[in-house]
Structure 1
Amino acid sequence: MTGEPGGLATAERFRGITLMADDPETGRVARRMAVETVHDWRLSHLTDDVALCVSELVGNAVHHATPDGWSPGADGERRVGVGFRLWPRWLFVEVSDEDSTPPMLPVGEPLELSLTGASADVLLPNSGRGLLIVQNLADATWWAPRELGGKSVICRFNVSGGAGT
């Protein structure tokens, strides 16, 4: 990359796909695209983390996202978008859906000493674990509403392998 104006824009790579949420192959296709993208862009060291984050975020969209104004039995397919954007230092992964409801992390109570012998089923929340996984694997995770409705959940990976550099 040169120091000329617009250098960042010319160094950027983008790859995206729109999938039907109700198609049984949606998760598999999204994971395959994640793996192929990081390999094509010579970021193989990120393969496992990116594939798992895409899997969790797409799974959330398929499982929970209901398009704004949509009702059961309404005509139309639910769509999920998956995008990858590479800037010089960062890989951004975006999963979008048509539901403007913010993603929610689980809220738990502080653990009591008497629960230390409890099974994981008792201690772990019933939902939200996927977002916790994404937050732990990515360098940053956030969400944003989309202009025409719906939302995007974005996670960022440092392509050099060190968090925050």
Structure 2
Amino acid sequence: MTLFAESRDTPQAARKMVCAALEDWALGALVDDAKLCVSELVGNVVHHAFPDDGLAVPGARRRIDVTLRKWPKWLFLAVADEDSSPPMFPLGENFSPELVGDLPEAVLPDAGRGLVIVQRLTDGLWWSPEELGGKTVFCRFDLVGRVLDGPA
């Protein structure tokens, strides 16, 4: 699905597409996690991605491509944009999850929290630069051993 960063309904359209596909594939138990992940990834494009010089067209809208692929053992979610800057993946735990609730908000990181959420909800998170510019951020849900036909 191709979306545009400047459209107000872009995150909602991405969530609806993910929800519809997962329900069609009898993967209802993954709907909530996958919708949150696509929201975070699309939101990162909307707020942080700007086309590379070679891809930038004055006055053009910023393109976002959302792809879902199901394999027997995995579900892949990919979000591509026209900015080849690497995403700011979390490198490790800054704070113990048990302590975060006790820390003042000013101490917690201002950026990168969305990718921490995606990292925690998925079984794999990575990115790849595109040959002509831009990048794709991928996440993987392992299907083996999950209850997959739960309520959406």
- Structure 1 and Structure 2 fold alike (TM over 0.5): yes
Counterpart of 1:88 (choices 72, 78, 93) is 72
TM-score computed with the length of structure 1 as normaliser: 0.78
* 3-state SS of paired residue (1:94): strand
Question: d(CA) in 1 for partners of 2:109 and 2:90?
Answer: 6
- Which residue does the alignment assign to 2:21? 37
Distance, in Å, in 2 between the alignment partners of 1:159 and 1:106 is 24
SS of 1:99 mapped into structure 2: coil
CA displacement at 1:109 relative to structure 2: 9.6
The residue aligned with 1:134 is 118
* TM-score of the aligned structures, taking structure 2 as reference length: 0.84
What is the CA–CA distance in structure 2 between the aligned matches of 1:35 and 1:79, rounded to whole Å?
21
1:59 aligned to which of 13, 37, 43: 43
- Residues 67 and 108 of structure 1, relative CA distance in 2, 3 Å threshold: same
Q: Give the aligned length.
A: 142
Residues 106 and 125 in structure 1, CA contact (< 8 A), matched pair in contact too: no
Which residue of 1 is the match for residue 34 of structure 2? Answer: 50
How many Å separate the matches in 2 of 1:102 and 1:49?
A: 23
**Residue 75 of structure 1: which of 52, 59, 67 is its match?**
59
Instruction: Name the CA distance, whole Å, in 2 between partners of 1:108 and 1:137.
Output: 15
Q: How does 1:115-126 map to 2 (within 5 A)?
A: 118-119=103-104, 121-126=105-110
SS for the counterpart of 2:144 is: coil
Partner of 1:160: 144
Contact 2:55 2:133 in 1 (8 A): no
Structure 1: give runs of 5+ residues left out of the alignment.
1-16
Local SS of the residue matching 1:28: helix
Asked if structure 2 preserves the Cα contact closer than 8 Å seen for 1:34 and 1:50, the reply is yes
Per chain length, whose mean CA-contact separation is higher, i.e. which structure has more relative contact order (CA < 8 Å, sep 6+)? 2
**Which amino acid in the other structure matches residue 147 of structure 1?**
E
Distance 1:140 1:106 in 2: 13
State the one-letter code of the partner of 2:142. Answer: N
Return the alpha-carbon distance in structure 2 between the equivalents of residues 148 and 108 of structure 1: 31
Question: Is 2:119–2:125's contact at 8 Å kept on the other side of the alignment?
Answer: yes
The percentage of counterpart residues that share the same residue type is 51
CA 1:75–1:102 in structure 2 vs 1: closer, same or farther (change >3 Å)?
A: same
1:12 aligned partner = none
